[in-house]
Amino acid sequence: MSFIDTLPKAELHVHLEGTLEPEQMFQLAARNGVGLPWDSAEALRAEFTFTGLEHFLRLYTEGCRVLCTRQDFYDLAAAYLRRSAAEGVLRAEVFFAPQNFLDRDIPVTEQFGGVLDAIDDARADTGIDGAMLVIAQRHRTEAAALELLEAVRPFRDRILGVGLGSAERGNPPSKFARFFTAARAEGYRLTCHAGEEGPPSYIREALDVCGVERIDHGYAATQDPDLVTRLADDGVPLTMCPLSNLRLQVTSDLSTYPLADLMKAGVLVTVNSDDPPYFGGYVNDNYAALERHLGLGNAELAALARNSFAGSFGDRSAVDRGLTAVDDHEPPAEVTAGAGWR
């Protein structure tokens, strides 16, 4: 196994519905009598060439239609957690968007019951520490987001935090200022997708207007040097997703991907998979892509793994366990000798 395969890490930016593999999508469609517009899993995979975020979201929404019962949500979450544990993921903070399913009158109890049971079973079976962050979709109204907070309140003790996702352009974080204020009052940890397709100003709004603690993607920060300095000085984590950014044409070439530059500037950058089947890889594939295209060595990869725990919403003991696991990971000789940024 490679250094990346066995490197302990956390994943902080992955959409649970977006982990639906084509084969599983067809299995669940058959189970629930849902028709799909493709003849096979192979035909679906052939569609995974995207022109941008909104193009992807159309396929993502189609896939959500096959998730109907508590067992479906359990199977989805169990498959992701099982695979992630095998990739060295010790902690997974997964996004989940209930609005996709409330539209079809699937009760929150069915949705969360399946996901949370899978999290509990995976923790017992593999030791992976799973946690759920509820996503409000920004193409909807703020009133709908506030209604979502009410709908999920029975599960308050099992929800780590809330975030904002979906189509970014034309839907700035400030549109949801009251939503984030209400979520903060209820004690949720706060994160927000910003700077994927939107401008650096969306990142600033997420921080200044919405008061979030973490920025999901944050790619556009590199267009604003003052913002980069602020992110570094304030220790704001970025949950970057290299293969997603490549597939959605946020970046055209991973050899110029700004992650290394951001990290050199002192920004707490993390590596994540976003919606792995759609974008060509799970978290280890993203680490490997950076190793290959940016020339990152094992010391840099280990630093990114440390960032993943430091940037998590885990309590101090969970963060310390993760950091210790990375430190205890047996390094190759050249890392022991002190390899640095290339």
User: Does 335 map to a domain?
Assistant: no
pLDDT for the residue numbered 336: 35
Condensed to tens digits (0 to 9), the pLDDT of residues 261-275 reads 999 999 999 999 999
Q: What CATH number did the domain enclosing 167 receive? A: 3.20.20.140
Q: Which helix (H) or strand (E) holds 132?
A: strand 129-137
**DSSP letter string, 148-191:** HHHHHGGGGGGEEEEEEES--TT--GGGGHHHHHHHHHTT-EEE
- Are 301 and 4 in contact by the 8 Å Cβ rule? The answer is yes
CA separation for the pair 45, 5 (Å, rounded) = 25
- Are 250 and 220 in contact by the 8 Å Cβ rule? The answer is no
Q: Give one word for 33, left, alpha or beta, with left for phi > 0 and alpha for psi -120 to 50.
A: left
User: Does 333 map to a domain?
Assistant: no
Q: Which two tokens stand for residue 201?
A: 């100003």
pLDDT for the residue numbered 141: 98
Establish whether 205 is a catalytic residue. Answer: no
CA separation for the pair 98, 116 (Å, rounded) = 13
**Which domain, by its residues, includes 165?**
3-328
User: Does 342 map to a domain?
Assistant: no
**Beta strands 89-96 and 9-11: pairing type?**
parallel
CA separation for the pair 183, 180 (Å, rounded) = 5
User: Does 163 map to a domain?
Assistant: yes
**Residue among 93, 196, 197, 213 flagged as catalytic:** 196
User: Does 150 map to a domain?
Assistant: yes
User: Does 235 map to a domain?
Assistant: yes
CA separation for the pair 244, 132 (Å, rounded) = 21
User: Does 239 map to a domain?
Assistant: yes
Dihedral, 110, 112, 118, 119 alpha carbons, nearest 10: -170
Instruction: Indicate the number of domains in the chain.
Output: 1
pLDDT for the residue numbered 331: 61
Query: Is the whole model's pTM more than 0.85, yes or no?
Result: yes
Condensed to tens digits (0 to 9), the pLDDT of residues 31-79 reads 999 999 999 999 999 999 998 888 999 999 999 999 999 999 999 999 9
pLDDT for the residue numbered 281: 97
pLDDT in tens, the chain (342 residues): 799 999 999 999 999 999 999 999 999 999 999 999 999 999 999 999 998 888 999 999 999 999 999 999 999 999 999 999 999 999 999 999 999 999 999 999 999 999 999 999 999 999 999 999 999 999 999 999 999 999 999 999 999 999 999 999 999 999 999 999 999 999 999 999 999 999 999 999 999 999 999 999 999 999 999 999 999 999 999 999 999 999 999 999 999 999 999 999 999 999 999 999 999 999 999 999 999 999 999 999 999 999 999 999 999 999 999 999 999 996 644 433 233 333
Give me the count of residues in the chain: 342
User: Does 144 map to a domain?
Assistant: yes
